[in-house]
Amino acid sequence: MTMETVSTNKAHGGVQGVYKHASAATGTEMTFSVFVPDHAPGAKLPVLWYLSGLTCTHANVTEKGEFRAACAEHGIIFVAPDTSPRGDDVPDDEGYDFGKGAGFYVDATQEPWAKNFRMRSYIENDLPELVAANFPVDMDRQGITGHSMGGHGALTISLRNPGRFKSTSAFAPIASPLACPWGDKALSGYIGTDRTAWREYDACALIAEGARLPDLLVDQGGADNFLEEQLKTHLLEKAVADAGMTATIRMQDGYDHSYYFISTFLPEHVAWHAERLKA
C-alpha cells in the first residue's frame, strides 16, 4: 500500500496533499488529493469522499471547492480521487463524455475498456485500503458526496453498500443514467446493451428495488443548463418519495453547474456530514 507524495501545502492549520500510487484495480497510476486537518496525536478522524464530474480530475475540487475551512472546523478528512484511469496505454474516446475523464464510477465489461476502466472497484476497495493504511482515518465514520457524474457515483456506491457510509450527499447528480444521453452513452459503451445490467449504476433504479439511505442531501442549481436533459432531478425526487426515504432535495435558484455553485454550498455539506459522522 505504498504511495508517492506529489505535493503538500499547509492550509487552515492542516495539510493539503496530492499523492499518486499504482492501482491494482485500474492497472494504472492514479492521483488523488487528501486534506488532513490539524488534530491531536493518535486521533482518528472521519473521512468525506468527494467524487468529481465529467472532464474533471482531483484538482478541480482541490483548487476550487473551498472546503478546507469547514473541514478544519469540523475535523473531517477530505479525499478527492480522479474520475478515470489515465496514461498513454489507456483507451480513450473523442467525446468529452466517454473515456478518460469520464469513468462513470463503473467496472467496465466491454472491450477495450474492461482492463482499465474499473472505477467502481477503485473507489469501493482499492483507494480506501490505501487511505486507511496511510492517513489517520476512522473507517467506521465515512461520508460520501460528489458532483454531476460524481453525484451519480456517490449515490450508487452508497446505495450498493448499505451501512458503509453514515452520510450521503450530492451536487447536481446524474439521477438516472438509464434515462439520459450521458448515461446511455456511458453504460452502453462500458457495460453493453443489456439495460438490466445498468440498473446497479442507476440511483433511481436501486431505490425502486429496495436500496435505502438513512438520509440524503442534494443541492441542484436552478439555472443548470444540464438539468432537464441530463440530470433529471425530478426522477430522484419521485424515487425517494415513492420509497418513503428521508431526503432533502433543494433547488438553488440562479445557480449553474459550475464550481461557483459547488463552492457556495460545499461547506454546508461538510457541516451536514460532520453532524452525522460524530463519534
Whether 273 is a known active-site residue: answer no
Whether 148 is a known active-site residue: answer yes
38, 140 Cβ separation under 8 angstroms: no
- Which residue, among 49, 16, 76, 128, has the nearest Cα to 271 in the 3D structure? 76
List the catalytic residue out of 74, 257, 269, 273. 257
List the catalytic residue out of 82, 107, 219, 224. 224
Residue carrying C-alpha cell 425526487: 237
| Sheet of 217-221, strand order | 4-11, 14-22, 29-36, 77-81, 45-51, 137-146, 167-171, 217-221, 248-252
Chain CA centroid to CA 180, Å: 19
Strands 14-22 and 29-36: antiparallel
273, 168 Cβ separation under 8 angstroms: no
Q: Return the ∠ at Cα 183 (arms to 238 and 106), rounded to 5°.
A: 105
- Which residue, among 78, 84, 32, has the nearest Cα to 58 in the 3D structure? 32
Which residues have a Cβ under 8 Å from the Cβ of 46 and sit 6 or more positions away?
75, 76, 77, 137, 138, 141, 142, 143, 273, 274, 277
| Pairwise CA distance, residues 165 & 152, whole Å | 15
List the catalytic residue out of 23, 33, 148, 169. 148
Whether 58 is a known active-site residue: answer no
| Pairwise CA distance, residues 32 & 224, whole Å | 27
263, 65 Cβ separation under 8 angstroms: yes
Active site residues: 148, 224, 257
